[in-house]
Amino acid sequence: MYKGFRQIWLSGEIWRCLLFAFFFLLINSCQQQPKGFLSSSAYSKAVDTATIMYDNGHQKAAVGYLDSAFRHSNNLGFKQVYNYYYFKYTYASHIKSDRKMALLYADSMINIFDTPEKKLKFTSEYGQAHLAKGDVLFDEHRYNEAYGYFYEGKVIANNNLDDCTMGDYSYRMGMILYKQEHYSRAAVYFKKSFEETSSCEGTFNYFYRRQELLNNIGLSYSKMLMNDSAMYFYNKALDYINDNTARFKDRPQMGEVSKGVVYGNMAEISIRQKDYNKAKNLLKKSIAINLRKGNDNNDAQYSELKLASIYDRQNANDSLLNLLNTIRLQFDSIKSPETRQDWHLLMSNYFEKQNDHQQAMLHYKQYDELKDTIADENKKLKEADVAEQVNSLEKDNEFNNLKKNNELQHVYLRVTIVFALMLIIIISLVFLNWQKSKNNVKTLGSLNDQINHQNHHLENALNDLKLNNQEKDRILRTVAHDLRNPIGGIASLTGVMTEENYTDEQKELLNIIRETSFNSIELINEILEATESASAVLNKEAVEVNSLLSNSVELMRFKAAEKHQVINTFLLNSPLEICISREKIWRVISNLISNAIKFSPEGSAILLMAVELENEIEISVKDHGIGIPEKLRNQVFNMFTDAKRPGTAGEKSFGLGLSICKQIIDDHHGHIWFESDTENGTSFKFTLPKN
């Protein structure tokens, strides 16, 4: 009367309804509709909210909420998209029983694996998508197609050593064989699934699946009338539930639901052994648990029918009628042809005992019609040999693998031939090159001798150039020293003579001689400075940057005051010492400030600024002068450059100062450059390493 398969299949439905929770963990209880575009993390929180709504029985609202979040999200990850389709598939398949819609979402789950990379990276999801589509096809009685997708899920899991998905495949094979009434083979698959999922216990869904598998093994043995074995696995299922209840305190009701299912199955053995009191106690415990809202009401109804069958056997007609009337009220919410079939049979028995043969016959006809309808639906499944179908799929898979291996071997052969031809070509080229190299070696030998000979001449020329350069510097220093004293005397003499009583014209000539003498002395000093900088050894010491800059500015303020100019400073925020030649760097700063004074108009401002960078100090001198024309910029740092120009007050320029600055900064491993335009003036900058 009671169909044990519906009990086991129901447990599978509960597990599949819970499976989506594997992807969405509970975090957030906000139930406002998401607005605007959501980020990936915000979408995940929306998923958590939808999951809570779903678990609380508001499945339709949960799906609407998640649809809105999905439409208003962007940049979602691959698994987030996959899990959205799985959520929708679960709702369509297990809540709405809309197989057409469930099939569309199952196809969507498979179709998003549109690249080999996704199939390799998300192998578990790829296998589960095939199993999900197989479930929908199975519910539509398209058994051969369903077996194909089940097997494809198994192949994916097997190739990637995914024991959890392999366990899901074995579970489905056990369910099919059970429904085909091959109970012994079903028990084998259920045991295999239990072993394969041993490493998957970390999540609630696989805990729920594993207790179900123990229950299913017991059901299979019960169908084979092996009562002791069945009771052993029922008790093992109860122990497993009790041992793991503490791990999932957030879902205590699901453990109770599982116990209620087991109690109902254990009662069937007691009924078979005619221990009706024990059976009734077990059934009442089962009904009390699963008749609650949100629990497994289908299982509760099956337990009620079992209890009614006991009342029927014990001729407790009043209790039987009351219970059958209670069950009839549940038909609007629980639609199961099997339960209606059993209910009509019990009603027929009741009216038969009441000698109401007309009502008894009426219910028996409805029972018979439902029985024929269910038998016709199961006939196609029972006629399909799943073992033969799986063997056929395995042979097809082996053939395809052999075909791929054969194609691969052909590829290897072609590659080998190509490599052999390339090797022959390479050997031929090597041989030809070897012959050519014999001649080339001789040519290279003679060329090498010529190069060595030229290198020897170049070394001699370089040494001569160094000697000539040293001699040039010596001559420059000698000439400069020899010229500085007489020219200095001329300058002093003309200064004294201007105080005598000469005519204005004579005094003007004397001033020209005096100014020319001072310019000559300045040129001589720059020549001496250039030659000394090229040959002098740097004497570095620790120098405080702000102090050096301040002293340099103080020495130049008087010169700036002659043109009514001011020098502003922007120093480092805190004292900092670096290892430099104090005198050389002072010379660079003074030269740059002097140039700024020279080429700036009267009354302008000059800015000296220091900035600390990560590994160096940057010092800059900014003026608002006449700037450097584009055509002269490449010559600024050359010695004796043609880029020299008079200052704004007619000051002389000899073109040596900036070349000396560059040489000093290069010796300090720094860098000097400038930025200039004829409207905003010029900014000279240089860097010095901190270490």
Going by C-alpha positions, the residue among 176, 178, 240 that lies closest to residue 210 is 240
d(CA 654, CA 644): 6
Asked if 565 and 603 count as a contact pair (C-beta separation under 8 A), the reply is yes
Give domain status of residue 438, yes or no. no
Residue bearing tokens 């201007």: 498
Going by C-alpha positions, the residue among 143, 132, 117, 44 that lies closest to residue 85 is 132
Q: What is the pLDDT of residue 396?
A: 63
Give domain status of residue 547, yes or no. yes
DSSP 3-state of 348: helix
Which structural domain range is residue 564 located in? 538-689
Give domain status of residue 579, yes or no. yes
Q: Give the DSSP H or E segment for 608.
A: strand 605-612
Give domain status of residue 331, yes or no. no
Q: How far apart are the first and last CA of the chain?
A: 94
Q: How many domains does the chain have?
A: 1
Asked if 190 and 232 count as a contact pair (C-beta separation under 8 A), the reply is no
Burial track 297-320 (b if 16+ CB lie within 10 A, e otherwise)? ebbbbbbbbbbbbbbbeeeeeeeb
415 CA to centre of own chain: 37
Give domain status of residue 262, yes or no. no
Asked if 598 and 648 count as a contact pair (C-beta separation under 8 A), the reply is yes
State the chain's maximal CA–CA distance in angstroms. 165
d(CA 78, CA 138): 27
d(CA 577, CA 613): 14
Going by C-alpha positions, the residue among 84, 74, 85 that lies closest to residue 38 is 74
Tokens encoding 266: 């254990």
Ramachandran class of 564: left when φ > 0, alpha when ψ lies in -120 to 50, beta otherwise: left
Q: Give the DSSP H or E segment for 612.
A: strand 605-612
d(CA 183, CA 225): 10
Q: What is the pLDDT of residue 412?
A: 80
Residues of the chain with pLDDT under 70: 1-36, 55-57, 201, 250, 382-406, 468-485, 487-489, 491-493, 495-496, 498-499, 507-508, 512, 514-537, 639-644, 647, 649-650, 652-655
d(CA 282, CA 307): 10
Where residue 625 sits, what CATH number does that domain have? 3.30.565.10
How far CA 444 is from CA of 64, 441, 448, 452, 457, in Å, comes to 83, 5, 6, 12, 20
Give domain status of residue 597, yes or no. yes
Q: What is the pLDDT of residue 230?
A: 93
Asked if 532 and 664 count as a contact pair (C-beta separation under 8 A), the reply is no
Question: Is the pTM of the predicted complex or chain greater than 0.75?
Answer: no
Q: Please tell me the number of Cα atoms within 13 Å of 11 on its side-chain side.
A: 30
Going by C-alpha positions, the residue among 621, 568, 584, 620 that lies closest to residue 599 is 621
> Residue 552: is it exposed, middle or buried by C-beta count within 10 angstroms (0-12/13-18/19+)?
buried
DSSP lists the bridge partners of residue 677 as 681
Give domain status of residue 195, yes or no. no
Going by C-alpha positions, the residue among 677, 683, 635 that lies closest to residue 658 is 635
The amino acid that residue 140 corresponds to is E
Radius of gyration in angstroms for the set of CA atoms belonging to the chain, rounded to a whole number: 50
Asked if 291 and 297 count as a contact pair (C-beta separation under 8 A), the reply is yes
Asked if 556 and 523 count as a contact pair (C-beta separation under 8 A), the reply is no
d(CA 52, CA 33): 14
Going by C-alpha positions, the residue among 307, 360, 301, 306 that lies closest to residue 335 is 301
DSSP classification of residue 227: H
Strands (E), 451-604: 541-544, 566-570, 577-580
d(CA 591, CA 599): 12
Across the beta sheet with 616-622, the strand order is 566-570, 605-612, 616-622, 681-689, 671-677
Give domain status of residue 78, yes or no. no
Q: What is the pLDDT of residue 501?
A: 73
